[in-house]
Amino acid sequence: MDITTYKYALQVSQQYELTKTRSHNPLRINFRCPICGDSKVNMYETRGWFYEYKGELRYGCFNCNKNYPFPFYLKLRHPEIYRHYILEKNGDRYKKKEPTVEADTSNIGKKSLTSIIDDSTINKYCVRLDRLPEGHPALLYMQNRLIPEERMCLFWFTMKWRELANAVKPNTCSNNDPEPRIVIPIFDEKGNIASMQGRALRSTEKLRYMTVKSSEDANKVYGLERINPNETVFYLEGPIDSVFIDNALAIVGGTMSLEEAPHKKTRVWVLDNEPRSKDTCARMLKLIEAGERIVIWDKCKWQKKDVNDMILKEGATKEEINQYLRDNIVKGLRAKIRFNEWKKVIL
C-alpha cells in the first residue's frame, strides 16, 4: 500500500466515532460504521474497517456488509477529500515515471478529463436507489429482479432522463419531456463517471437501453472501479448481469476491440447462453480463435440466456452461477470442442 493511501485512511478515520488503529502493518483501522451508523442498540459496537487485502486498502462493514476499495469509498463519502487524494496520488505516480512515459500518461490524463461527467450532473437529476424510500417503483423494479441489496448503491433513478442525457451530450434527445429511467453510471478506474446507461421503466419507450457518453473516447467498460485486476476478471454482456458475479465487468454501448479491452492477462469472456444465436456463436468463435479464455454454458443446468434470468426464472443462486463460471473456463482446443458441442447453428 502506498504512503498517500495510508495517510488519508488515518486522517479520514479520525472523523469517525470510536476509532482505533488496531495495526499499522498491515493497516487495520476499526470504527463505528458511518454508512449504516452501526448498531442502534449498542452504542459501543464498531463494525466498520479500513483493512489491507492483497496489498490494497479496502473499506468494509460487518453490519451493513458494504465493501469497497478505499478510493471508491472515499469518492462516495468524502468527495472533497477524494479530489486531494487523487491529485496527491497522481503526483506520486508521475514523479516515478520515465520522461518518455510521462509524455504518454499526461496525454491520457487530458483525454479522460474531457470525457468525465461531472458528479453534480448526476446528483442534480438522479437519486441513488439505496436512498429511495421503500416501495418506490424504481426500487421495486430492481428488487423484483433480485438485485442484491448491497448492489443497489450502483444504480440511480431519474424522472428527467432526457434532460440528463442532453446535459451530458447536447442534442441526444429531441425534447426534455419527463421520462423515468434507471441510470447506470460507468466509472473510470479513478472512480469518475465517464458515461451512463439508462434503462427504460416504461414499456412504451423505443429504446430499452440508451448509453450516453460525453465524448467518443469515454470509457465503455462497466465496473472498472471495483474489480481486482490481479484475479480472474469476468466480462459479461450487461451491467445488471455483472453485479451478480464476483469481480466482473460489462461492455456497454456496442462492441469493443480485443486490444482496447482492459486486463488482458486475467480476463475471461462470458457471453450469453444463446446456442441458437448466430451472432453470439460467431463472437464466441472469434474469441476462441484469438486465444482468449471463455466460459461455455454446455454443462450448466440452466436454459435461460443470461445470469439475471437464470436467477429469476430458474431459481439459480448467485453462488451456483459464480461457481459454474470458475469451473468452466476454457481456451484453445478444449474450448473449440465444447463450443462445437454446445452451439446449435451452422456458422
Give the range of 54-62, 95-103, 190-198, 270-278 binding Zn ion by CB under 5 A.
54-62
Give the range of 55-63, 266-274, 321-329, 335-343 binding Zn ion by CB under 5 A.
55-63
Q: N- to C-terminal Cα distance for the chain?
A: 49
- 61 makes contact with Zn ion (CB under 5 A): yes
- Cα–Cα distances in angstroms (integers) from residue 145 to residues 139, 149, 240, 307, 315, in the given order: 10, 11, 9, 11, 12
CB nearer to Zn ion: pick between 30 and 280 = 30
Applying CB under 5 A, the site for Zn ion has a residue count of 6
- 73 makes contact with Zn ion (CB under 5 A): no
Which three cell numbers, joined as nine digits, stand for 63?
453490519
Give the range of 36-44, 87-95, 122-130, 172-180 binding Zn ion by CB under 5 A.
36-44
CB nearer to Zn ion: pick between 40 and 344 = 40
Find out whether 31 and 22 touch, Cβ atoms under 8 Å.
no
Q: Which of 155, 194, 192, 158 is nearest to 173 (CA)?
A: 158
Give the range of 25-33, 224-232, 246-254, 299-307 binding Zn ion by CB under 5 A.
25-33
- 153 makes contact with Zn ion (CB under 5 A): no
- 63 makes contact with Zn ion (CB under 5 A): yes
Candidate residues 19, 21, 39, 64; the one interacting with Zn ion per rule CB under 5 A: 64
At residue 202, what are phi and psi to the nearest 5 degrees?
-105, 140
CB nearer to Zn ion: pick between 8 and 68 = 68
CB nearer to Zn ion: pick between 41 and 333 = 41
Q: Minimum distance between the CB of residue 148 and Zn ion, rounded to whole angstroms?
A: 16
Q: Minimum distance between the CB of residue 58 and Zn ion, rounded to whole angstroms?
A: 14
Find out whether 231 and 247 touch, Cβ atoms under 8 Å.
yes
- 36 makes contact with Zn ion (CB under 5 A): yes
Give the range of 64-72, 123-131, 148-156, 300-308 binding Zn ion by CB under 5 A.
64-72
d(CA 187, CA 209): 18
- 261 makes contact with Zn ion (CB under 5 A): no
Find out whether 235 and 270 touch, Cβ atoms under 8 Å.
yes
Q: What is the enclosing helix (H) or strand (E) of 49?
A: strand 48-53
CB nearer to Zn ion: pick between 35 and 329 = 35
CB nearer to Zn ion: pick between 40 and 202 = 40
Q: Minimum distance between the CB of residue 34 and Zn ion, rounded to whole angstroms?
A: 8
Find out whether 197 and 253 touch, Cβ atoms under 8 Å.
yes
Find out whether 58 and 48 touch, Cβ atoms under 8 Å.
no
Find out whether 121 and 164 touch, Cβ atoms under 8 Å.
yes
Q: Minimum distance between the CB of residue 50 and Zn ion, rounded to whole angstroms?
A: 13
Give the range of 30-38, 152-160, 168-176, 299-307 binding Zn ion by CB under 5 A.
30-38
CB nearer to Zn ion: pick between 129 and 221 = 129
The DSSP string of 288-343 is: HHTT--EE-GGG-S--SSSHHHHHHHH---HHHHHHHHHHTEE-HHHHHHHHHHH-
Q: Minimum distance between the CB of residue 62 and Zn ion, rounded to whole angstroms?
A: 8
- 68 makes contact with Zn ion (CB under 5 A): no
Q: Minimum distance between the CB of residue 20 and Zn ion, rounded to whole angstroms?
A: 16
Overall size of the chain counted in residues: 347
Give the range of 32-40, 168-176, 249-257, 272-280 binding Zn ion by CB under 5 A.
32-40
Find out whether 241 and 306 touch, Cβ atoms under 8 Å.
yes
- Cα–Cα distances in angstroms (integers) from residue 3 to residues 60, 73, 142, in the given order: 20, 18, 40
Contacting residues toward Zn ion, per CB under 5 A: 33, 35-36, 61, 63-64
